[in-house]
Structure 1
Amino acid sequence: MVMDLAVELIHATVQLEQPLGDGTRTVGTGFLISAPTADGRPRVVLVTANHVLEKMPAATARIGYRVANADGSWSYSPQPLKIRDDKGGPLWIHHPTRDVAAIAITAPPEFAKAAIPEGYLATDDTFAQYHVTAGDEMMALGFPRGLSANQAGFPILRAGRVASYPIAPASIFPTFLLDFAVFAGNSGGPVFVSRPQQPPGAPQGLTQVADVTQGGAVPGAGFIAGLLTQQVELNSERLEIGIVTHAKYVRETLALLRNPLAPATVAQASVNQAAPVAGARTASAEEAAKD
């Protein structure tokens, strides 16, 4: 049976928070990926934006697990998550050039089962295969201003349209824009396509996303396009635009978790012009971005 990626990602998405000692807290979003170790052992990895963890100075954060009760209700059960060692050093690994972080965790069994297989992370080929382009709708999960959808602590689901062109290849365009209202607390949440259009010639009723980690194909109803890393502000005015970092860089961060010497892409800073005009330059939304 083809899974509903929206529902599965809702179960795999968690709130991350840390009290700051002055009555406030720093809040972000993360999601769980099933990413085996280098020797094939199963492992659950928490993926989020690097700046979410960097802004948490204490050694322990809280991860917002949810527990299903026998009567069909749910309970919110946040648990401690150690993110720094005894000297204050980070226990997570981050991409060298993009705002992506990953940390291996020991999740409760029900959450370990909810982790999304690594193969659902998009590649450049995925974007090309499904002709993803400007105007296409994507969905995002998160905890804006630390708010959840209900008392059980489930994330809030939003939708927006791709607001930039082109959006691939990721090595040249490492981020793309999504037209929806973004708030503090959304950072680190997954951005995904739940039911992509079938590529030409594909069998009806089945989509497949290549799983490069297991050498096969994962039947599915969508793919994770990336994670939300920033919102766009100009002169303190929110433009209701989110910046999404390509899933390619999540894949590379997971590879670094397996092997710190794994290669990582250094994206081009700009597109070369054939005949640049002296002084000619356009301001990009990414330059106006705010965590």
Structure 2
Amino acid sequence: MAYDLSMELIHATVQLEQPLGDGTRTVGTGFLIEAPTPDGKPRVVLVTANHVFEKMPGQDARIGYRVENPDGSWTYTPALLKIRDKAGHELWTHHPSRDVATISITAPPEFAKAAIPENWLAEDQTFTKLEVGAGDEMMALGFPRGLAANQAGFPILRSGRVASYPVAPAKIFPTFLLDFSVFPGNSGGPVFMSETGRRRVGAAAEAPTQFIAGLLTQQVELNSERLEIGIVTHARFIRETIALLDNAAAPVTTASTDVVAGARAASAEEAASPD
């Protein structure tokens, strides 16, 4: 059976939220990666933008699990996820220079099965081999303004085209632009390419064209006006952050500083919506 990354990521993507106590909630997006421990034990890792957790002041976030019922319907069943200890110390791991966070979780069995294998995260050679560049279409999953696709809590699927050049290597270009409407609540969501989004043809196109390119971390604004452009952080930094879970001294990329005028985080308290 062919692997449909779009459907697999829809099931692996979850809403992250924390009530603020005033009838509103902070909202972000995360997705699950299957990343075994160094000794081979199964492990599910939640990936999101670091600022999503940073802007949640409480000890517990809510992770939006979904359960399929025997009649084919789905039930939204959020569970608590401890992100800080009683002293307020962070329980997640974040990249030292990029807006990426990971945390090991114990997911319900059906969600553990939905986690995407780590090897679907792109590397620099992925972009080079497939000649990914400006104009190529990519997909993004998330919960804009805390809105889900339905009562079951599934994420909303959007699409856009790569809006910057070049897009690799990540050490020099740690982020790239995607032309699509970004809203608070989208931060931390996966950005990926599927076969249906492939623009080019030829020898390079014969290779698999399904991979996770990165995660959405910011939107671009100018004079308080949204330009409908998202900033995507390369998947390379997700890989490195996962490695830091097992070894705090694991090597990480010191990327060139990329400053996009008007860039703002696309979640945190700005994503407050009715609880």
Equivalence map 1:32-51=2 (5 Å): 32-51=32-51
Equivalence map 1:38-187=2 (5 Å): 38-187=38-187
**Inter-partner Cα distance in structure 1 for 2:224 and 2:261:** 13
Residue 78 of structure 2 aligns to a residue whose secondary structure is strand
**Inter-partner Cα distance in structure 1 for 2:199 and 2:4:** 14
**Inter-partner Cα distance in structure 2 for 1:48 and 1:110:** 20
Structure 1 residue 2, shift from structure 2 partner: 2.2
In the alignment, structure 1 segments of 5+ residues that lack a partner are: 208-220, 271-283
Aligned match of 1:245: 233
Q: Which has the higher contact order (CA 8 A, sep 6+)?
A: 2
> Is 1:263 paired with 2:251?
yes
Structure 1 residue 199, shift from structure 2 partner: 8.2
Aligned length: 263
**Inter-partner Cα distance in structure 2 for 1:203 and 1:189:** 26
Identity %: 73
Runs of at least 4 residues off by over 2 Å: 196-204
Structure 1 residue 222, shift from structure 2 partner: 0.4
- Deviation sequence 1:178-221 (CA, Å, 0-9, x none): 000000000000000011578855795x72xxxxxxxxxxxxx6
Structure 1 residue 155, shift from structure 2 partner: 0.1
> Is 1:227 paired with 2:215?
yes
**Inter-partner Cα distance in structure 2 for 1:119 and 1:198:** 23
**Inter-partner Cα distance in structure 1 for 2:172 and 2:204:** 29
**Inter-partner Cα distance in structure 2 for 1:12 and 1:160:** 20
Residue 239 of structure 2 aligns to a residue whose secondary structure is helix
Larger Rg over CA atoms:
1
> Is 1:22 paired with 2:10?
no
Query: TM-score, normalized by length of structure 2?
Result: 0.92
Structure 1 residue 168, shift from structure 2 partner: 0.5
**Inter-partner Cα distance in structure 2 for 1:150 and 1:7:** 16
Residue 65 of structure 2 aligns to a residue whose secondary structure is strand
Residue 158 of structure 2 aligns to a residue whose secondary structure is strand
Contact 1:130 1:197 survives alignment (8 Å): no
Contact 1:18 1:26 survives alignment (8 Å): yes
Aligned match of 2:242: 254
Aligned match of 1:279: none
Letter of the structure 2 residue corresponding to residue 237 of structure 1: E
Residue 128 of structure 1 aligns to a residue whose secondary structure is helix
Letter of the structure 1 residue corresponding to residue 131 of structure 2: H
Residue 264 of structure 1 aligns to a residue whose secondary structure is coil
